[in-house]
Amino acid sequence: MYSVVLELRSIFITDGASQNIDLSFDFSDTEVSGYYPLSSSVKFVGGVYNRAGAVSFEGTASYDYDAPCDRCGTDCIKQNKVEMCYTLVTSMSNEERDDYIVVDNFVLDVESLVRTDVLLSLPTKHLCKPDCKGLCSNCGANLNKAQCNCSGGDDNPFAAALSKFL
Q: Applying CB under 5 A, which residues contact Zn ion?
A: 69, 71-72, 128, 132, 136, 138-139, 141, 148, 150
Q: How far is the CB of 23 from Zn ion (least distance, A)?
A: 33
Q: How far apart are CA 76 and CA 128, in angstroms?
A: 5
Q: How far apart are CA 29 and CA 21, in angstroms?
A: 23
Pairing of strands 54-68, 75-89: antiparallel
The nearer residue to Zn ion, 1 or 161, going by C-beta atoms, is: 161
Q: How far is the CB of 70 from Zn ion (least distance, A)?
A: 7
| 77 within 8 A of 69, measured Cβ to Cβ | no
Q: How far is the CB of 129 from Zn ion (least distance, A)?
A: 6
The nearer residue to Zn ion, 114 or 132, going by C-beta atoms, is: 132
The nearer residue to Zn ion, 69 or 118, going by C-beta atoms, is: 69
Q: How far is the CB of 39 from Zn ion (least distance, A)?
A: 19
Q: How far apart are CA 8 and CA 18, in angstroms?
A: 10
Burial class (CB in 10 A: 0-12, 13-18, 19+), 141: middle
Alpha helices in 65-151 (DSSP H): 110-121
Q: How far is the CB of 71 from Zn ion (least distance, A)?
A: 5
The nearer residue to Zn ion, 5 or 136, going by C-beta atoms, is: 136
Q: How far apart are CA 15 and CA 1, in angstroms?
A: 33
The nearer residue to Zn ion, 55 or 67, going by C-beta atoms, is: 67
